[in-house]
Structure 1
C-alpha cells in the first residue's frame, strides 16, 4: 500500500480510501465489519462516509453507515490508527427528513457534527466535508451552470467561521468540499486566506474514464492551491468493470437503483466497450486499467473504492498495483477525444 498526506496537513493516508455507502443497504453490519477488517489488513487507513449514507438515501436507513463504522471502531479499538472522513448533507437533495431547512447554518453544522460524532463513537472527525454546495448548481446529469441561483446569499465567510470554532473545540481537524466547482473552491480558499480561517484541504468529486470533468478547471486549481482530489466513482457505479455491457444489471447497484442513470447512456456503453478492448489488448482487466488511470493522476490524493463483497474489494485493492504506461495513456486519451466525458 502506498501512502501520502492530505494536503497542508500531517495526516498520512493510504492512496486507497475505503468508501462505505453500501453499508446498511447492500451490505449488512456483519458485511461492513468484514470489509473494514480486510481493508485495514491490506494497509488502508482512510475511511470515507457521510451522514446521509447508505445510498440510495432514504429515511428508514439514514445514519446506518456511520453507526456500523462506529460499532466497528469501538470493537476494534483502532480509531487512533485511522483517518475518518464524513460529510454534512447539502441542500437541494430532496432529503428534508434529515433537517429543515437543509443548509449550512451554524445550528445545522453543529447538529450534524455532533450526530456524526455520536454515530461514529469518536471524539473527533479527521476530515469533515460539505456534501454538496448550498447554492443550486450543476447536479448529476448536467455539465455546467446556465443560470445563477437567485435565492442563495453568499456565506463562505460565515460557514468557515463555524468550522473554525469546531476545529478549536477539537471536534473536527480539517475540512473539505464535495461535488464542488471552481467558483466554490476558489471562494472558500480566498475567504480563508483573507480572514485567517480554516482552509479546505480536499475536493471529493467524481473522476473516472467516463467522467474527467474535474480536469476542466478544477485540476489546475487543485494542483496550484494544493487541494487534493478524493476521486469517487472511479469505476462509474461498476460500469467500468465491463459487466454491464451485455445489459445485465441484476443484483448490481445500477439494477437496484435505476434512478442512477448517469453511467448507463449509449455513449457510456460505446466508450466502455472501447476501454475494455484496450485494457484486454494490454493484458489487463478493465477494472485494473480504470483504477490505475485514476490513481496515477498527479492531482489525485486518494481514490475512493467501494464493494459489496470481499472478493470485489480484494480485486479493487490489487488493481492499484497496475501501471498505466505513457503509451497506454495516449491510447486512453484518444478514446476520450472520440467520446469525451459521456457521463455528466
Structure 2
C-alpha cells in the first residue's frame, strides 16, 4: 500500500487508515481485534482513535473503551511497534472528560497518561487536539459560523496555543508522544500553530484531521493550499459521508445495525439535497462499473494534499470489502464525472 509522509516528522503512513470509533459499540472486541489483524496484513500501518471513543452514541460510561480495546490487542499480540498510532485529546465542552475543561497545560499530561494506560503502550505516535477550544465551523456549523462567538481576541487564542505547545514539548522530551496534530481546525488556526512552532514554542503541526469526502469539500480551498505549502497533510475522516456514499440509505432504506439506526440524521447530513447527491455519485460508480465505496475512498486517497484517509468498518466483512479496492486508481473519465457531479451538487449538507 502506498505510504505518504506525515508532515515533516519522518514518519510514513499508509494512504488508508483504520478508524476505530465504533470499537466498543457497533463493533465488539473480538471483531475489533480481527479488524486490526486484517488491516495490518493488508499493508495499513496507521490506526486512529480518541479518548472519547466509542461513538454512536457517546456515553460517559464508555469513554475510553475504544482505547482499552486497542490496548488489549497491543498487550495480547506484542505488535505495538508495527504500526503508527494516533489518538486525541477532547476539547472544551466534553463533560464526560475532565468535566468539559479546555485543552491546556493543566490537562495535557494527565490526558496523555490516561490514554497511554488504556492503550497499554509507552508512546503515542500522533497526538491530536480533537477540536479547538475557541470552537470550529465543522459539523455543519459553517452555515452560521461567526469567529467572534469564541469571546477571545487573537492574542488570547495565541497565548492559549503557546501554553499548550509548551506542555506538548515537555511530552515530546519525555518520549510519551512523537508528533502533534490538529483536528476540526481552520486555515487561520493552523497557521497560528505553525507560526508559534517556528518561533520555538513547541512541536510543529504534522497533520489536520478534518471531515472530507465527495460530499464535504470545505478543505479544497484555503486549507488545501496550506497543506501543500506547509507540509501539513490532511487525515480525512468520514470519507464515506457517514455511510451515505455507500448508497445503502437510498430510497429510505435502513439496514439493520447501520449508523442511521442510532443517529437518524447522521449528524445533520440527511436531507433531500444529500439524497440527490448520493444518487448522482452512485450513478457515476454504476456508469463506470465501480463499487461506490471503493470509488469514494480512491477519490479521497488521490487528492494531492492527502496524508491518509480514515475509514471505519463496523464489521470484518465491511473491512474486507473496503480492502478489495485498496489499490484502485480512478481514470481521468471517472474523475471528470465526479467533478461534474460536485458542481451540480455542491455542499449538499
TM-score by length of 2: 0.94
Which residue matches 1:329? 335
| Unmatched tracts of structure 1, length 5 or more | none
Displacement of 1:327: 2.1
2:217 is the alignment partner of 1:212: yes
Residues 161, 197 of structure 1: 8 Å contact kept: yes
**Count of residues in correspondence between the two structures:** 341
CA separation in 2, counterparts of 1:219 and 1:64?
33
Displacement of 1:10: 2.0
CA separation in 2, counterparts of 1:219 and 1:267?
25
SS of the equivalent of 1:205 reads: strand
Which residue matches 1:173? 178
Residues 14, 308 of structure 2: 8 Å contact kept: yes
CA separation in 1, counterparts of 2:41 and 2:117?
26
- Matches of residues 1-344 of structure 1 in structure 2 within 5 Å? 1-55=1-55, 56-92=57-93, 95-143=94-142, 145-152=145-152, 153-154=156-157, 155-195=160-200, 197-249=202-254, 250-258=256-264, 260-343=266-349
Alignment deviations for residues 302-324 of structure 1 (CA, whole Å, 9 cap, x no partner) = 11111011111011122232221
Displacement of 1:265: 1.4
Residues 135, 150 of structure 2: 8 Å contact kept: no
Displacement of 1:184: 0.7
Displacement of 1:33: 0.8
Displacement of 1:102: 2.0
CA separation in 1, counterparts of 2:308 and 2:63?
26
Please tell me the root mean square deviation across aligned C-alpha atoms, in Å: 1.4
CA separation in 2, counterparts of 1:43 and 1:243?
27
Q: Alpha carbons of 1:150 and 1:30: their partners in 2 closer, same or farther (altered >3 Å)?
A: closer
Residues 240, 246 of structure 2: 8 Å contact kept: yes
My pick for the range that moved more, 160-169 or 131-140, is 131-140
Displacement of 1:192: 0.6
Residues 16, 317 of structure 1: 8 Å contact kept: no
CA separation in 2, counterparts of 1:69 and 1:81?
13
CA separation in 2, counterparts of 1:160 and 1:195?
9
Residues 14, 44 of structure 2: 8 Å contact kept: yes
| Unmatched tracts of structure 2, length 5 or more | none
TM-score by length of 1: 0.96
Displacement of 1:271: 0.6
Residues 134, 150 of structure 2: 8 Å contact kept: no
Alignment deviations for residues 183-240 of structure 1 (CA, whole Å, 9 cap, x no partner) = 1100000111122521000000111011011112100001110001011111111111
My pick for the range that moved more, 208-217 or 315-324, is 315-324
Displacement of 1:25: 0.7
Displacement of 1:5: 2.4
